[in-house]
Structure 1
Amino acid sequence: MDDDVTGTGYPVGWEADAVLRDGTTTHIRPIRPSDAPALQAFHVAQSERSTYLRFFAAMAKLPERDLVRFTTVDHVDRVALVALRTVDDTEHIIGVARYDKIGPDVAEVAFNIADTQQGRGIGSVLLEHVAAAARERGVRRFTAEVLPQNGRMLAVFRDAGYDVSQHVDDGIVTVTVELDPTERSRSVVAERERRAEARSVSAILEARSVVVLVGDEEHEAAAARVLASLAPLAAAGEDVHVVAPRASGLPVPAGARGHHELEEVTGPVDLAVVALAPDELLEVVPDLARLGVRGLVVVNEGYAETGAAGLDRQRRLLRAAHLAGMRVVGPGSYGLARAGADGPLTATLGPVPLAGSIGVFCQSAPTAVTLLATLQRRGLGLSTFLSAGNRADVSGNDLMQFWQEDTATTVACLYLESIGNPRKFSRLARRLAAVKPVVVVTAGRSGQVVPPGHVVRATQAPRGTLEEMMRQAGVIRAENTHQMIDIAQLLDTQPLPAGARVAVVASSPALAALVAEAAASAGLDVVPATGVVPEGWADADVRAAVDSVYALADVDAVVAVHIPVLGPGSTSFVRAVAHAAARTGRPTVASVLGRHGLVPDLATTTAAGDPWQVPAYATPEDAVLALAAVVRYAQWRARGHGTYVAPEVADDAHERAEALAATGPRTLEAHEVAELLAGYGITLVPSRVVTDADEAVAAAEELGWPVVVKSTAASLRHRADLGGIRLDITSADAVRDHFAQMEDLMVRQFGTTMPLEVQHQVPSGVACVLRSEEDPLFGPVVSFGLAGDAVDLLDDVSYGIPPLTDTDVHAMVRGVRASPRLFGYRGLPPMDVAGLEDIVERVSRMADTLPVLRSLELNPVVVTPTGVHVLGARCEMAPASRSGDDRRALPW
């Protein structure tokens, strides 16, 4: 790191790589004193008009005094960020954003974007990053003076999504920007991010010119496989270049051009596939940038999976590539493929996959081998395939951004060994799943597996968190890759079921009964009518039996199973099923001996002449499990996903929370917790901590009868069964008696007395516990459960990853097995569930918008028929471990 960075309070956490509007990348970081020559070069290269718009005066060159002032900042009251791009192996500044504080929470902001880089979204990206930096430093408002003719800069402010106001005075437009994120600003950032990341992936997957770089003999085998897969592209007349050592005997595909040096290649080239030693690759990145390469596919290893030195190599590769405007696939990638209208692009270590409409993302190269082989064996075609290897840069999140509007992809499948940004994954998966099914397999159920080479923050989240996050996002969770493909082939060939009602048609009554039991166990509703088609029946009888099942009006899907006992069986059954399914349009799964995947005799056409294919499964259980998973997805998609909760909070709630966290990690005092909760609309039932009986009586008189007396010891304060809580106290004498008894209990339990707590007693109801924990990986995790030992021991808890919708909150409250107690269980009156959900919504908003909220526990929350009462709360605050904003940034 530069000498002018160390020991100066330089905020390393502000450094980020971002994707621009055109899909290329830039590096953003705080300015340094050593940037003075680059800043001067940036200024000199600007047009006279741009200089005038920035400084309101002609200035051919920055004076030395200004140059020092602009590059020497304190990163607190004076902040400047630069956007960088490497050209000819030299870092150039292509944009500058700065602010100077002019009040306690107000700063003046200014931008300057290189003339040659206009229209690429650099200004909007810099605004997002400098606004985030400002919020970290307590700045809540930007002001800027802009000339009326500076339309580009006015548009950056206007289109940012923040609350913006402006007025004109003496020919100058003064713009005021409120920096607190709004729903609109978040949606603006998310949409810009989606377009930029989708475009960057599109540039890789839809490349029409490729260069393959090969190192020594160690890498020739991998390169030969890649070249074999590129043969169709070369044969189609597209530009395919091979750069290999002079002594290499590597076969060059027909139509491709071989070179001994990269300098011999003339651009432009869209994609580079490299099998080079890490140090060699770093050396050629500038030459690849000269050719206009947009994507770099690294098929060899030798990076983060090898240890600390390899991780450093990986980070240097990413920095060099992003500064040159490239995205990186890998290292350790198995390659990529795209079925396009202009011909396929395949650059993999394996065979060319069939063209189709399934998109597949995976990380592990060995898993990619089995996935591609299985898809090929079943006759399933791919629209997109990408193996991310170490997932250093391009990730499943990027692919989901691309698939969102990719008409060639109708089913998205992801095999994830790790998830680097679960909050973003949840947001993107939810949006994609609303229009296309998303099927996911993770390495392990908890999401806490970190394979070698994957740079992932540690997590302390409960093991059920990932499962809840997937459910909340509408993702179809598969147990393994076999089940993922089972589900994908159903989604690829059949319409979504309208409901969970299932009919069974089978080759024997016993088999039909077994299939019906499997379907019921999977959560499907099996209709009583069952079709039986014994062996040896005539074709007409088979058709009549099958048609009778499809004629049922109260059926949403059909499971067809035929397992002959006495011979190979007749094809009449499969033909009858295929024709009936095509005629009725009813979703169907089949398990027929000897058939797996997409087989010809389960294929036919509809009356309109469109192809129709019934998918075949190895076992009836596989068919039923796939159908059940798709039914659950269809139900999620049909019922809507609600709107993000946004309960009203006090105007200064966020600022007060930040102030409470400013003194470092600590547990808040009781009055501070009450103040924090009040800002977010949560009322804590008042209580008093007392040290003697007289204080206890005085507190009871103040709070109002009846009261409860509680221990302040953590092990007893919620345990009425152990004497830690005394209820229904209605007189001063009773207070004194209970106080004395509890003092004796404290002495016996802990050897000393402890203060006690007196609180007004609320009506009886159902006690619940609501928590929020800030996790290093998942960010805020909100949990809900009913109070009690049995609930804790059985882990009867539901989880949510904010931001939550009202539908998410609804599902959380009903997602615990003990929830019937809230809805009139065994003659009890229904509780105020709406009031409870309001509390959950407010905690969700706190957790989402307050990165300084390390943990919060509301315990107990007593829900009565007429209201909800928060009786206890504990809160820990700490400096933020996540940015808490929506800056567009890539991992590095």
Structure 2
Amino acid sequence: MDSSHVDYPVEWEADVVLRDGSTMHLRPIRPEDADALQRFHVGQSERSTYLRFFAPIARLTDRELRRLVEVDHRERVAIVAVRPGRDEDGTDREDILGVARFDVITDGEAEVAFNIADSLQGKGLASVLLEHVAVAARERGVRRFTAEVLPQNGSMLGVFRDAGYQISQHLDDGFVSVGIDLDPTEKSRAVMADREHRTEARSMAGLLSARRVLLVGPGADDGTPESLLARRVLDAYSIDPGDTELVVLDPPGAVPGSVQQAAGWDDVGAIDLAVLAVAPEDALAAVRRLDGTGARGVVVLSGGYAESGPEGLERRRELVRTAHAAGMRLVGPVSYGLLTTTPGSALRASLAERPPPAGVVGLFCQSAAAAVTLTATLERRGLGVSSMVSAGHRADVSGNDLMQYWQDDDATEVVCLYLESIGNPRKFSRIARRLSAVKPIVVATAGRSGHVVPPGHAVRATRAPRRLLDELLRQSGVIQAENTHQLMDVAQVLAHQPLPAGNRVGILASSAALAALVAEAAASAGLEVATSSDYLPPHAHEEDIARTVDALYAPDACDVVVAVDVPVVQPRTGAIAHAVAQAAARTGRTTVASMLGLHGMPDELAAVGPDGRVVRIPAFSTPEDAVVALGKVVEHAEQRTETRGHEVAPEGVDSRCARALVEQWLADGEGRELDGHEAAELLACYGIRLWESRPVRAPDEAVAAAEELGWPVALKSTSPALRHRNDLGGVRLDITDAEDLREDVGRLRAVATALLGDESPEFEVQSMAPAGVACVVRSAEDPLFGPMVSFGLAGDAVDLLDDVAHGIPPLTDVDITALVSTVRAAPRLYGYGGAPPADVDALEDVLARVSVMADDLPELASLEMYPVVVAEQGASVLHAAVRLRPAGRRADGLRRALPG
């Protein structure tokens, strides 16, 4: 084989996390890997060699090596897991620690084999390699793996069995023959997500449980940004070291006595985490020197990377590659650092001079500037955190990683994310859905559309509608905050109050007028004002206060309470605050307050509950802030009790047929529009029937088409400007005979000539569908968000008002129902104005099939089904426009991978 003419599939390269939290680089094998593969083979135990080759082969021959490393990446594919190593003379090299390969044996079928280093067996590398090699196989048209495994190789059989694919196995002549269907299943997706969760959570645990931290400084106190950053870390550590043991190398001047100073890299010793405050040109060398120190992560405080231009972006990518190759995760660049408040293992590796107190909030943000603001807000409100991470430009570690960790972290009960950009929305949605079912997530985004990318953030461009980010967050089950102020408002309710049992709000105010204003705000927030609401004048006696508060907190009087005490003339006495705090602690009723002079988590609104725990009522500057935060918490509590539904899996879907068609149509590597017959064929693979039509130009052709299809018929212009425009004369319906059809052809020709200047227009004849509500179903593949599905009713008013709902597959049956019911024009489907209700179930079935199709086919650049007529019985797809293009790599594909 002439390897010089082999296309190297760079898109198969990826960094992955293993079961122990360390990282590994995967890539296709190369001819120059022969020496590394020989070292790998020789280093294996006799048992591992026998299980792989069924014979005790001590050393591979040159011919065997060439066969194993020279592959065409199509019929013969091999992916290796590598890490950097070093020869005896100190020369850098790459070591192979695992190999997965397949050889195509028949059309759509390949034989697969694995070999994992003894030191990494049982750490999940085989499972990761199976995911990656399976995706590579599907991209090459392979739908099934076969393998022959020795019966005693239980670990490999377990990898196949636990992957979640459909498998078959039988004993044949002393070998176990295994067959693996590579089509993704709900189980295989769940297995991948579960393994991804465990490995990424363990990776973050390695960072946040660090005790011995190395600070690498610039070596001179010369006023550079790096020296200022290093000095801040040292000053912050001297104020509050937590339980961290800090070692510093090349400090900017003198160091506190509690800090150990290393004379050089050889003096550093074993560490858990490194913090870099060095210039970009020195960072790469520092990360390389960290290899072998035991560091599980590196935090980069300084800038000068992607925000500085293409060269800086490449520096950042090389920094990430080097960190991953050494088994480390990278936080930053331009990070504010990370800290934890866990008693006995409080980590201090940040620029925060005064860490927030211990609490139950896990806080993630990106830029250092945002971290400064949030830290100050936490201090002002007295709101505690379990851990706080600033990812900076999130070259590697992101909010997705921290959500994975916080799901299992007992110290974290509430998750707060301030996001300036979302690099992988599909993964975010998938992880957030899982986490929000057990812990509330509050999210504030710097931009409401996802279209604005801050400097330094490497994010794919998006063509998605500006409202899609809101839809993503809603679909993910998170609480969306308008800004960081509201983020903290909602967080302090969730952190110190129980989730409410309902939406009936009891209002206690210091005047009737104030009670009326709070009631109006409550109604706007979706809350129902309870009859137990009351007001207390500033001069109320203690007996009146006790009686009114007890009535408000009586069983079944309300579900939540808003207490507002703003006296106009007399000073506030604190009697109402004390009574409300005691009642809230005693009853466990969700309570918020707005009282003059109180803000955050004041001691005046704290009381001891029956279980001995201190219960604090959050205080807000304005009643409106309190009500808005409470409304969002109530809405979240209601969502937690609702079913999330099941991922849609309609019957009659043949994804293999669709895949074969798409590969056939895109064989030349060019995108294309499908004609009507092709569109119908593709839709039929997903159980969607496209109504037949016939293109015509002349009256006689139209009559012949109508005779073939059956009367009555519709006549439509095929021009995009007139196709759906009945008001412009581009459509004629319910034509029952040849004479009328000929006349209508003449009329439509006159319209096309007058409006478009087309003297030889083309028309379409189609059988009349049952009358109903006309709808539009669309799908598109976005570089950032991946597949998108949208729904709306047909009509100019709907288009002008942008009355369209969006969803990101995979969708559940609950998502599909919401997609239909949330558009403002939806009442037309349910019998509006006395019309008969439409068959919404049939419409939802069409949407489900489009959702599966969009998720299956990244080549589906766009699909528009317009109109979809929903009658009393059934939904008819009358026209479909389909455009295909070669697929790009989705940000959240069917293989685990870290940002590269």
The Cα offsets for residues 534-583 of structure 1, whole Å up to 9 and x where unpaired, read as 11122222222222222273521111111111132110011111112122
Query: Is the Cα–Cα contact under 8 Å of residues 501 and 637 in structure 2 kept in the other structure?
Result: yes
Write the mapping of 1:298-377 to structure 2, written as runs, cut at 5 A. Answer: 298-350=300-352, 351-377=354-380
C-alpha displacement of 1:233: 8.0
TM-score relative to the length of structure 1: 0.97
AA in 2 matched with 1:209:
R
Gaps of 5+ in 2: 87-91
**In the alignment, which residue of structure 2 is the partner of 1:201?**
204
Answer yes or no: is 1:735 the counterpart of 2:760.
no
AA at the equivalent of 1:735: L
More displaced stretch, 532-541 vs 881-890: 881-890
**Local SS of the residue matching 2:214:** strand
TM-aligned CA distance change 1:250 to 1:300, over 3 Å: farther
Is 1:556 paired with 2:548? no
SS of structure 2 residue aligned to 1:383: strand
Instruction: Give the deviation of 1:367 after TM superposition.
Output: 0.7
Q: How does 1:703-742 map to 2 (within 5 A)?
A: 703-742=709-748
Aligned to 2:152: 149
Q: Which moved more, 1:217-226 or 1:187-196?
A: 217-226
CA distance in 2, matches of 1:233, 1:590: 33
Aligned to 2:89: none
Alignment partner, residue 85 of structure 2: 87
- The answer to whether the aligner puts 1:519 opposite 2:517 as a matched pair is no
The equivalent residue for 1:483 is: 486
**Residue in 2 aligned with 1:544?**
547
SS in 2 for 1:154: helix
SS of equivalent to 1:87: strand
| Greater mean deviation of Cα atoms: 458-467 or 345-354 | 345-354
Cα pair 1:227 1:253 within 8 Å, conserved:
no
What is the rounded CA distance, in whole Å, between the counterparts of 1:56 and 1:5 in structure 2? 29
CA deviation vs aligned residue, 1:34-81 (integer Å, no higher than 9, x gap): 111111111111122222221222222211112122111111111111
Matched, 1:816 2:823: yes
Q: Report the Cα distance in structure 2 between the residues aligned to 1:795 and 1:853, rounded to whole angstroms.
A: 23
Structure 1's unaligned 5+ residue stretches are none
CA distance in 2, matches of 1:306, 1:750: 50
Equivalent positions of 1:264-279 (< 5 A) are 264-267=267-270, 269-279=271-281
Could you tell me whether the CA contact under 8 Å between 1:25 and 1:324 is conserved in 2?
A: yes
Post-superposition CA distance 1:664-700 (Å, at most 9, x none): 3111010111111111011111111112111111111
In 1, distance between residues paired with 2:873 and 2:687? Answer: 18
1:64 and 2:62 are equivalent in the alignment: yes
Q: What's the offset of the Cα at 1:23?
A: 0.6
- Asked if the contact 2:532/2:551 (under 8 Å) is kept, the reply is no
2:895 to 883, 887, 890: 887
Tell me the residue number matched to 1:140. Answer: 143
Corresponding residue for 2:790?
783
- Does the Cα contact within 8 Å between 2:400 and 2:431 map onto a contact in 1? yes
Conservation of the 8 A alpha-carbon contact between 1:557 and 1:587: yes
Q: After superposition, give the CA deviation of every residue in 1:831-856 in whole Å (9 maximum; x if it has no partner).
A: 10111111111111101111111111
Instruction: Decide which moves more: 121-130 or 389-398.
Output: 121-130
Q: Distance in 2 between matches of 1:141 and 1:466?
A: 37
Q: 2:705 is matched by which residue type in structure 1?
A: A
Who is 1:118 aligned against? Answer: 121
Q: Counterpart in 2 of 1:794?
A: 801
Question: Which of 577, 583, 594 is matched with 1:580 structurally?
Answer: 583
Aligned AA for 2:748? M
- The amino acid of 2:470's aligned partner reads E
Looking at structure 1, the residues matched to 540 and 820 of structure 2 have their Cα atoms a distance apart, in angstroms, of 53
- Matched letter for residue 299 of structure 1: L
User: Structure 1 CA distance, aligned partners of 2:571 and 2:257?
Assistant: 45
Contact 2:209 2:345 in 1 (8 A): no
Taking structure 2 as the reference length, what is the TM-score of the superposition?
Answer: 0.96
- Structure 2 CA distance, aligned partners of 1:574 and 1:707? 74
Question: Structure 1: how far apart are the matches of 2:752 and 2:152?
Answer: 75
Confirm or deny that 1:825 pairs with 2:828. Answer: no
Does the 8 Å contact 2:13/2:28 carry over to 1? yes
Matched position secondary structure for 1:240: strand
Correspondence for 2:648:
645
> Aligned match of 1:241 in 223, 247, 252?
247
CA contact (8 A) 1:531 1:548 kept: no
Which secondary structure state, in structure 2, belongs to the residue aligned with residue 652 of structure 1? helix
The residue type equivalent to 2:253 in the other structure is G
Question: SS state of the match for residue 102, structure 1?
Answer: strand
Q: Which amino acid aligns with 1:670?
A: G
- 1:468 offset after TM fit, Å? 0.5
2:36 alignment counterpart? 38
Supply the AA of the counterpart residue of 2:798: V
Q: Which has the higher mean CA deviation after the structures are superposed, 585-594 or 258-267? A: 258-267
Paired residues, number: 884
Instruction: Name the amino acid aligned to 1:625.
Output: V
Q: Name the CA distance, whole Å, in 2 between partners of 1:653 and 1:444.
A: 37
**2:700 maps to which residue?**
694
Alignment-derived partner of residue 416 in structure 1: 419
1:704 and 1:253 map into 2 onto residues whose CA distance is: 93
SS of the equivalent of 1:290 reads: coil
Instruction: State the Cα distance separating 1:380 from its structure 2 match.
Output: 0.7
- Aligned partner (choices 397, 402, 409) of residue 399 of structure 1: 402
Deviation at 1:662, TM superposition (A): 3.4
Q: Which residue, 821, 832, 842 being the options, matches 1:835? A: 842
Number of the residue aligned with 2:52: 54
Taking a change above 3 Å as real, the CA distance of residues 28 and 531 of structure 1, as seen in their structure-2 partners, is same
- What's 1:109 paired with? 112
Shift of 1:87: 2.9
Cα offset, 1:213, TM superposition: 1.1
Q: Answer yes or no: is the 8 Å Cα contact 1:227–1:347 preserved in 2.
A: no
Letter paired with 1:150? N
Q: Which residue of 2 aligns with 1:379?
A: 382
SS at match of 1:458: coil
Q: Read off the aligned partner of 1:525 and give its amino acid letter.
A: E
- Give the secondary structure class of the aligned counterpart of 1:502: strand
Q: Give, in whole Å, the separation in 1 of the partners of 2:297 and 2:254.
A: 23
| Paired residues of 1:206 and 1:340 also in contact (CA < 8 A) | no
Change (3 A) 1:253 1:439: farther
CA contact (8 A) 1:810 1:837 kept: yes
Per the alignment, in what secondary structure is the counterpart of residue 732 of structure 2?
Answer: strand
Residue 745 (structure 1) aligns with: 751
Once the 2 structures are TM-superposed, how far is the Cα of residue 208 of structure 1 from its aligned partner?
Answer: 1.6
Tell me if 1:659 matches 2:664.
yes
AA partner of residue 274 (structure 1)? L
From the superposition, tell whether residues 740 and 554 of structure 1 become closer, same or farther in structure 2 (CA, over 3 Å): farther
Amino acid in structure 1 at the alignment position of 2:67:
R
Aligned residues of 1:358 and 1:411 also touching (Cα < 8 A): yes
Report if aligned partners of 1:234, 1:253 keep a CA contact under 8 Å in 2.
no
Root mean square deviation of aligned Cα: 1.6
CA contact under 8 A between 1:19 and 1:200: conserved in structure 2? yes
**C-alpha displacement of 1:207:** 0.9
For 1:120 and 1:700, locate their aligned partners in 2 and report how far apart those are by CA, in whole Å: 66
Tell me the alpha carbon deviations over residues 482-520 of structure 1, each in whole angstroms, 9 at most, x when there is no partner.
Answer: 000000000011111122211211001111111111111
Q: Secondary structure at the match of 1:404?
A: helix
Report deviation, 1:260. Answer: 2.3
In the TM superposition, what is the alpha-carbon distance from 1:19 to its structure 2 partner?
0.6
> Matched residues in 1 for 2:541 and 2:349: separation?
51
Mapped contact 1:228–1:253 kept (Cα < 8 A): no
Code of the aligned partner of 2:314: D
Q: Which residue of structure 2 lines up, in the alignment, with residue 251 of structure 1?
A: 255
Q: Say which SS state the counterpart of residue 636 (structure 1) adopts.
A: helix
Distance in 2, Cα, partners of 1:171 & 1:627: 66
C-alpha deviation, 1:659, in angstroms: 3.0
Query: What is the aligned partner in structure 1 of residue 299 from structure 2?
Result: 297
Cα shift at 1:164: 1.2
Match among 754, 764, 775 for residue 757 of structure 1:
764
